Structure 1
Amino acid sequence: MRAHYFQHVPFEGLGSIEPWLLHAGYEISATKFFDAGVLPEIEKIDLLVVMGGPMSVNDEREYPWLAKEKEFIRNIIAAGKPVLGICLGAQLIANAMGGEVFPNSVKEIGWFPIEAVSSSGNSIFQFLHEAVVFHWHGDTFNLPGGAVHLAKSKGCIKQAFHIGTNVIGLQFHLETTPVSAKAIVDNCRNELVGGEFIQSEKEILSAPQERYSSINSLMARILEYLHAGIGT
């Protein structure tokens, strides 16, 4: 099996996703758009993960590869392959499938709870009622046609969604580890300007290991769900 991921900046990599994929027996390849990345052949991919980044999905003039990336996402979803989008990745999926992406009323940066939105159907991934997760986003989106809303927070209503049974978009970061949290703080420290839903650097980096273990376990559940759908 082959998992492929799209990376937009050097400091937002797979985090806890990488060891899970390796343990599950995947070969891992990547398109790194910040380094003249080459798109793979859809037929040779079993699972696509679209990572985060500080740019907007609407910045196609500054980042021309965004248009090709969104076209690839549309095509791989049409091919029935499992796709996971994280933060910018979720926004790219939403936009590629017809949803509008725009600035949220507030930025949400740090450790804040999300709440599950009830959905029907046993084939849809179900979140627990509430979980504290790691956020770093300023944009939000309208759900594309046919998408199912899965989670919300006080700072941002659209936190997670499902398309069909094999596509999940997450506005938040369940893959975050202490190392990756430090990396995004180091590279995006200028955004920590204070606000109702913006924590300080100290608050972010002082999170206990149990918090990372909790979100990484939730990420593992999502990956297991998508993995189970391969070939079905």
Structure 2
Amino acid sequence: MMRKLNVHYFQHIAGEGFGSCYDYLKSLGANITATEFFALPTDFALEIEALPTVENVDLLIIMGGTMSVNDEANFPWLKIEKRWLRRYLAQGKPAIGLCLGGQLIANTLGAKVSRNPEQELGWVKVYKSEAVPEHCFKFPDEIKVMQWHSETFEIPKGAIRLAENQVCANQMYQIGKNVLGFQFHPEIIPRVLEAFIEDEEQEQVFNGPYVQSFATLRKSKAEDFKPANQLLNSAIDYVLGA
């Protein structure tokens, strides 16, 4: 009898949850666990032993967050998260990074994460990059996705850029056949979008020509979410070798 697929996710902000892929992973019979970094006091001395044993995780999904990967002074657990992630990736295990998660993977592997020239927030088209090798993850020619970021990653050494747009050059990358990093939020569902909006209404950190109004976002229809949700399901299949 095959053992269950053990999926672990790193959550950095309250309310985000696992998004659209929770139901998909449950349909695969996955056992799902989480590390909730947002619940740790800022002065909490997290030990790497408190995180799951690398060997017991079959798929890692790293969620987004409002902090920067460079802000280890205010979020000291970032150092431990990166150190654990380095061990995990060194074993060639499947991983998916979403927004901050994609930045964390890139940064852990030595790539720079810095402020993007423009902030992106809202439904935006992203396009498949040119000359992507045939063996790579099949990204559509174009897709409308939810953006919510101020910073962005450089493509890690040895990785392949899969997607881009005119506002942010690096929208998705892959490493080998087991790691996919997204700059956008393919996991977004209506409940999570509303949580994002409520948080931004309080913080008010986004502005500029590529930031959509909350009134517009609150008119999002159910079908707006489906293409990116399905893209994430395909990404999960890809890194698992399904």
TM-score norm. by structure 2 comes to 0.91
Aligned to 2:212: 199
Q: How does 1:79-90 map to 2 (within 5 A)?
A: 79-90=91-102
Residue type of the alignment partner of 2:18: L
Provide the secondary structure at the position in 2 that maps to 1:220.
helix
Q: Tell me, yes or no, if structure 1 residue 22 matches structure 2 residue 26.
A: yes
Deviations 1:48-88 (A, max 9, x none): 00000000000001000101111111111111110000000
Q: Tell me, yes or no, if structure 1 residue 72 matches structure 2 residue 76.
A: no
Provide the secondary structure at the position in 2 that maps to 1:68.
helix
Q: How many pairs are equivalent?
A: 229
Provide the secondary structure at the position in 2 that maps to 1:125.
coil
Task: Determine if contact 1:161/1:170 at 8 Å carries over to the other structure.
Answer: yes
Aligned to 2:38: 34
Deviations 1:93-135 (A, max 9, x none): 0100000111111100000000001344443102111000001
Q: Tell me, yes or no, if structure 1 residue 170 matches structure 2 residue 174.
A: no
Closer, same or farther in 2 for the Cα pair 1:196/1:15, shift >3 Å? same
Task: Determine if contact 2:103/2:152 at 8 Å carries over to the other structure.
Answer: yes
Q: How far 1:155 sits from its partner (Å)?
A: 1.2
Structure 1: runs of 5 or more not aligned = none
Closer, same or farther in 2 for the Cα pair 1:64/1:193, shift >3 Å? closer
Aligned to 1:60: 72
Q: Tell me, yes or no, if structure 1 residue 2 matches structure 2 residue 2.
A: no
Q: How far 1:152 sits from its partner (Å)?
A: 0.5
Q: How does 1:80-159 map to 2 (within 5 A)?
A: 80-159=92-171
Q: Distance in 2 between matches of 1:226 and 1:2?
A: 14
Q: How far 1:193 sits from its partner (Å)?
A: 5.1
Q: Which moved more, 1:176-185 or 1:11-20?
A: 11-20
Q: Distance in 2 between matches of 1:39 and 1:168?
A: 22
Closer, same or farther in 2 for the Cα pair 1:196/1:215, shift >3 Å? same
Residue type of the alignment partner of 2:139: F
Which portions of structure 1, spanning 4 or more consecutive aligned residues, are displaced by more than 4 angstroms? none
Aligned to 1:11: 15
Structure 2: runs of 5 or more not aligned = 41-45
Residue type of the alignment partner of 2:114: F
Q: Distance in 2 between matches of 1:214 and 1:161?
A: 18
Q: Distance in 2 between matches of 1:205 and 1:71?
A: 38
Task: Determine if contact 1:6/1:33 at 8 Å carries over to the other structure.
Answer: yes
Provide the secondary structure at the position in 2 that maps to 1:60.
coil
Q: Which moved more, 1:115-124 or 1:207-216?
A: 115-124
Q: Which moved more, 1:58-67 or 1:33-42?
A: 33-42
Provide the secondary structure at the position in 2 that maps to 1:228.
coil
Q: How far 1:147 sits from its partner (Å)?
A: 0.9
Task: Determine if contact 1:119/1:150 at 8 Å carries over to the other structure.
Answer: no
Q: Distance in 1 between matches of 2:119 and 2:186?
A: 18
